[in-house]
Structure formats: structure tokens, C-alpha cells
Structure 1
Amino acid sequence: MTAWWAGGLIAAVTAAAVLPPAAAGSGPVLCPFRRLTGLPCPGCGLTRSWVDTAHGHLGSAFELNPFGPITFALAVAAVLMVLLRRPWPTVSGRLAVVVGVLAGVALAAWGITRMVLVARGEWSGPY
């Protein structure tokens, strides 16, 4: 893992832990897709989900975006590995591709489902 990635992850995890959950929920909509269409993209809610996860509010974190707590846990693991100077585990090429494809399909399915429900007016959760 390069120093840039490590520094970025450390900054993101630290920001999530320092930012109060109430502050993360206020402010302008920054997502260009949502600003253009009015619909949430698959990543909408990730920042607020990370902040809630960092503050132990897992229920609302999963409600905002189910990928938030998962990616936050991976980021914390990566930060710890960097700080403890542990090598990142190697994964065979095929397994990495399969996991990446499955994660991408899951994220796309989540995003499309939420977009359709929001467009129909059937989504009652946050985004």
C-alpha cells in the first residue's frame, strides 16, 4: 500500500471519528449524480454511514448505506496494518477478480434498487 493511500485512509477514518454525526447530516448535497437527477447514487450516504459507524451507531449506519460499515471496517484494518507495519495479505488473481466483481454487482444492485424505489416514491429511508 502506497503512502498516499495510507495517508488518505488515515485522514478519512480520523475525519469520520472526529466529525459529529449531526454535522455530517447537514450541509449541501455534494453528489453530482443526485444533484443532476434527484436520485441517490450507490455511494450516497457513505460519508454519513462512516461517521455513524465511527461513533458506534451501526443501525443508522447500515440504514444510510449498508456498504458504509463494511468499507469503514476495511479501511480501519488497512490503517492498522500500516501503523503496525504488517504486510497486506496477498490474494490469488482469480479470487481478487471474483471478489471485486461480486462487490461491484452487490453495490450496483443496491444502488439501482434504491434509485427505483426513490423514483417510485416507495423509499422511506434516508439517502
Structure 2
Amino acid sequence: MNLVLLGLPVFGIVRARLKSNSVMTEVPTPRPLRWYERLLLGTGGLILAVLLGTAAWLTPSARGMGTHQQLGLPPCTMVQLTGMRCPSCGMTTSWSYLMKGNVVGSLKANSAGCLMGLIALVLSPWFMSSAIVGRMTVRVPGDAVLITITMLVVAVTLVDWLYRINL
């Protein structure tokens, strides 16, 4: 008889996992990437590398936002119209601090920007190496992991923004 916890048969799951772990199975080799997949991965990795390189080249603004203006971009419209920072205010500054090794400054400028910068630091070499080799060099995470990461980035962005507008 199976113990049911939250509607899931616990012993059945454990038994299935034990059986699958006890049998020596070969790890399947990843399939070769198609030409357009290699092109997309290489392009995506290169774009991220250029963004990270640009952030490293910029001087972070001491105000915690406005670093993007060094690229000739206008000031944040929301700040000009309402006097309040938008959710993305400080992201370029955050990336710039991160690329200079100042994680605390990056988190202070925009914590979601710091998180996205760290993700970009992981994805860029992974994408480019996979494009060059012609197969995924690291196992692709499952949907649950990707959804969790996306929800985490959105949640951190919203919490960071709500914290800033209440200061």
C-alpha cells in the first residue's frame, strides 16, 4: 500500500527512482546541433558578450542610475515625468559595477540587474562554446528550472522596484 502525500504515491516514486538508479545506463550523447541552432546560439552568446563588454567599459554612475547616458541614450522618461524610478532604472549601472567586480555596488544599483548580469555571464560562454563545438556543452535545464529562474528574475525586479519607490 502506498503512502499518499499531497496526492502523490511516495513509495511508488521512491521505488521507481531506486530501480532507475540501480541499473547502469549509458548517458546518451547529445545530438548535433543544426546549422540554424548553432547560428542562434552563437549570435545570442556574442550579443551577451558585447553587452557585458560594454558594461565593463562604462563608468558606473555614483547616483546608482544614469550610466546608460554615456552611450548617448536619453535619461529615464519615467523619472523625468514622475520623479520615480522605473523597474529597470539602474540596470546598466548594476551591470557596470558587476563587470568591475563590485557585487555590492551592483546589488545597490539594481538587484535584478545584478541577477541578470550573473545569468548573462553564465549563458554567454555556454552559448558560444555550444555553437563552436556543434552540440550543447552543458545539459539544458528542464522547463521547471527555466520557469523558476524566470519567476525569480521577475520577482526580484518587482521587489527591488517596490523597495525603491517606497524610499
Shorter chain as denominator, the TM-score bin is 0.7 to 0.9
Partners in 1 of 2:83 and 2:118 — Cα distance?
Answer: 29
Question: Is 1:91 aligned to 2:141, yes or no?
Answer: yes
Counterpart CA distance in 2 for 1:41 and 1:71 is: 16
Letter matched to residue 100 of structure 2: H
Residue 42 of structure 1: SS of its match in structure 2? coil
Could you tell me which residue of structure 1 aligns to residue 102 of structure 2? 57
In terms of mean alpha carbon deviation, does 1-10 or 21-30 score higher? 21-30
Aligned length, in residue pairs: 117
- Check 1:18–1:97 CA distance in 2 against 1; reply closer, same or farther (3 A cut): same
Matches within 5 A, 1:34-113: 34-85=79-130, 87=136, 89-113=139-163
In structure 1, what is the Cα distance between the partners aligned to 2:153 and 2:59? 29
Larger RCO: 1 or 2 (CA < 8 Å, sep 6+) = 1
Runs of 4+ in 1 over 4 A off after TM superposition: 25-29
Cα drift, residue 39 of structure 1: 0.6
1:14 aligns with 2:53: yes
Gaps of 5+ in 1: 118-127
**In 2, Cα distance between the equivalents of 1:95 and 1:82?**
18
Following the alignment from structure 2 to structure 1, what is the Cα–Cα distance between the partners of residues 124 and 59? 21
In structure 2, the gaps of 5 or more residues are: 1-36
CA deviations on 1:37-93 (whole Å, 9 max, x unpaired) are 211112111101111111122222111111233221211111111332262642332
Larger gyration radius, structure 1 or structure 2: 2
Q: State the percentage of identical aligned residues.
A: 21
- SS of alignment partner, residue 84 of structure 1: helix
Aligned Cα root-mean-square deviation (Å): 2.7
Q: Which residue identity does 1:20 align to in structure 2? A: T
Distance between the aligned counterparts of 1:67 and 1:42, measured in 2? 9
TM-score in terms of structure 2 length: 0.57
* Change in 2 beyond 3 A, CA 1:116/1:12: same
Structure 1's 5 and 43: CA in aligned 2 closer, same or farther, altered over 3 A?
same
